[in-house]
Amino acid sequence: MDNRILGRSNLPVSPLGMGCWAIGGVWRFLNIQAGWGEVDDAESIRTIQHALNSGITFFDTAANYGTGHSEHILGQALGARRSEAVIATKFGFSVDEEAKHVTHYPTPEKVISQVRAECEASLRRLGTDYIDLYQLHVWDYPLDFAPALREELEKLVRDGKIRFYGWSTDSVEAARIFAQGPHCVAVQHDLNVVRDAPEMLSLCDQFNLASVNRTPLARGALTGKYSKETIFAANDVRTDTWARENILLPAFEHLDALRDILTSGGRTLAQGALGWVWARSSRTIPIPGIRTVKQVDDNAGALAFGPLSADQMRQIEELVRHPVAN
């Protein structure tokens, strides 16, 4: 597949990104285990470098992920090859690196007042002097404060700290406010074969934004590796009730019906699920969580197959949106 463009930035990026949440290690968000279990940093570094060698140039991380550990590892792995990569990271929470704990700021104003300091901290951890895409990580940030925060991000652009910005949110109204900013080029939102987002994709078309897609593999549920009987480790975020009910179980529910279509032509399940995301819109950039070299090979292998066909997309739409009763 050819590169895609990061919204109205004219910045080319690989059609597939590497989500770096899973390489952050163990950390807590409020009282919830928010990491994906223990990690092997040496394997994480090999994975990032192998991804770059495999044509993946877009890497999405966050200050939250391992309370900065994911950013550290990404910066270390890229090293002198920084210019070959497009780095997206996120901000908006109070991050305690030493305690491995993330909390909300006490007020919306605090997010605005801290954005520059957060940016500087991410730059330091990443070992770079600019961030390509800087994204607000707070899904439910009050919309009344969004224009002022957007202006602070424009200042960071003018100062050369960031190139572009966006919002990681499933709220179309939130994304619309940020889209008014000259250097807003993307919105990050959930999208996968069983969790469509037609209104958000329409907004991306309207404002020429990139659609950066989290959960393209439904946190692993669309890979075939797990089932609804799987018991995840206690320090794995997939033990969270919300994640199980809203992301994992809907995918497990439809997987058998979709299996033949997604694996057509020799694709793996993951490759078929990524093909659906690409076929859904020419603006989509899925960022599956990757933390091993083997996972790079499986996900990057989807690039050779490309998007699903229009006929396959129609079949899936019928199966998922209009299932046949048993």
- For the chain, what are the domain ranges? 4-321
Cα(5)–Cα(15) distance, rounded to whole angstroms? 9
Q: What is the CATH number of domain 4-321?
A: 3.20.20.100
Token reading at 196: 């469509």
Q: What is the pLDDT of residue 325?
A: 47
Predicted confidence band at 106 (pLDDT cuts at 50, 70, 90)? very high
**252 and 195 in contact (C-beta within 8 Å)?**
no
Query: 58-86 pLDDT, tens per residue?
Result: 999 999 999 999 999 999 999 999 999 99
- CB of 92 closer than 8 Å to CB of 137: yes
Nearest to 24 by CA among 76, 64, 57, 80: 64
Query: Would the pTM count as exceeding 0.85?
Result: yes
Tell me the mean pLDDT in the region 285-305.
98
Q: Which amino acid is at 306?
A: G
Residue 297 and residue 263 in contact, taking contact as beta carbons nearer than 8 Å: no
pLDDT in tens, 17-42: 999 999 999 999 999 999 999 999 99
Distance CA 166, CA 183 (A): 8
pLDDT digits (tens, 9 = 90+) for 222-234: 999 999 999 999 9
Report whether 102 contacts 27 (CB < 8 A). Answer: yes
Question: For residue 148, is pLDDT > 80?
Answer: yes
- How large is the average pLDDT for residues 243-255? 96
Name the burial class of residue 256, with classes exposed (0-12), middle (13-18) and buried (19+) by CB atoms within 10 angstroms of its CB.
exposed
Q: Name the residue type at position 228.
A: K
Whether the pLDDT of residue 322 is over 60: the answer is yes
Beta bridge partners, 284, equal 211
